[in-house]
Amino acid sequence: MQEMQINRTAVIGAGSWGTALARLLAEKGEAVTLWGHRPEHMAELAQRRENARYLPGFALPDSLVLETDIRAAVSEAQCVLMVVPSHGYRRVFATLLPHLRPGTLLVSAVKGIEVGTRMTMTAIMAEEAGDRKGEFRYGVLSGPSFAREVAQHQPTAVTIAFADQEAARAVQYLFATDYFRAYTGDDVIGLEISGAMKNVIAIAAGICDGLGYGLNSRAALITRGLAEITRMGVAMGADTRTFSGLGGLGDLVLTCTGSLSRNRTVGLKLGQGKTLAQALDEMTMVAEGVKTTKSCYNLARQLGVEMPILEQTYQVLYQDKDTREAVRELLSRNLKKELA
């Protein structure tokens, strides 16, 4: 395929992150369309020029096109950025696939693993593309990046990974601004595993915070969580260096410590004694880590990878295990060498 000039971008998903990225591109002067699946929500965005539900307080540039017709959103786009929850990812992508131009760059900005298939988002796109798989290039945008802080123009750095470095550079320059720095990489699977699993560890970190444990506990959990993420990633063929980078350690620290973290918030509520149903009822946005815990738990068993924090988090979420008992079991496991 010839080198691509990205003249138009479609952002699929009008939640907080999709809105923040679409807004970034529009402010930069790029031609960008933001697609959302609920007509009433998109009508409200068009009327108010603000995403009051998911990213309140930030005006949408007049140049940002809002769309509910998925064909109109993607048919002229050279780059399609997928920012829909993992549980709806396959359905939305299958809907837009017939309208994609050959050569389109497909970028996932979703941090999850599909329940049931245990597939990453780029793997879902490649599978759905079928005979057309070779027509597209598949990449990931990931890193420590809360949507609200990006909308505030807070200095932020992310990684954009493609197997094809020409594609990675094209998307890197598309998103780069004086406050949003994009690095390139080629470890797509490493970024996807990191992005998914850090949400699980963030739930565990929130549980510890909700139980009243201190900074020692949090630091230990983040460090051992990174070890688990690395083990899973290596088993999937990832580059170990990825896990010390922005999409690995950087995103893990942010999600385990930041007050804007949805997944940490879920864990915090569980540690304070609320049920999972109660915790989720109080959330307005999707906490990807809840479903990802199940898919990663099954993936770890499939791979034969030891992941005790993941296992205990799964038991708390899906087997109603007492949170204090989960922590006790983590600490009372057989003693071993740290870097074995």
198 is catalytic: yes
**Catalytic: which of 111, 198, 269, 291?**
198
**Tokens, residue 102:** 């050959």
What span, in angstroms and rounded, lies between the C-alpha atoms of 278 and 94?
33
Q: What is the gyration radius of the CA atoms in the chain, in angstroms?
A: 20
**Tokens, residue 26:** 């529009």
What span, in angstroms and rounded, lies between the C-alpha atoms of 96 and 322?
43
What span, in angstroms and rounded, lies between the C-alpha atoms of 146 and 202?
14
Q: CB count, 10 Å around CB of 154? A: 12
What span, in angstroms and rounded, lies between the C-alpha atoms of 79 and 105?
5
Residues 6+ apart with CB under 8 A from 206: 261, 263, 264, 265, 266, 267, 268, 269, 270, 271
**Tokens, residue 59:** 């005006």
Residue pointed to by tokens 């038991």:
315
Residue 130 region, left (φ>0) first, then alpha (ψ -120 to 50), else beta? left
* CB 1, CB 170: distance < 8 Å: no
- Residues labelled as active-site residues: 198
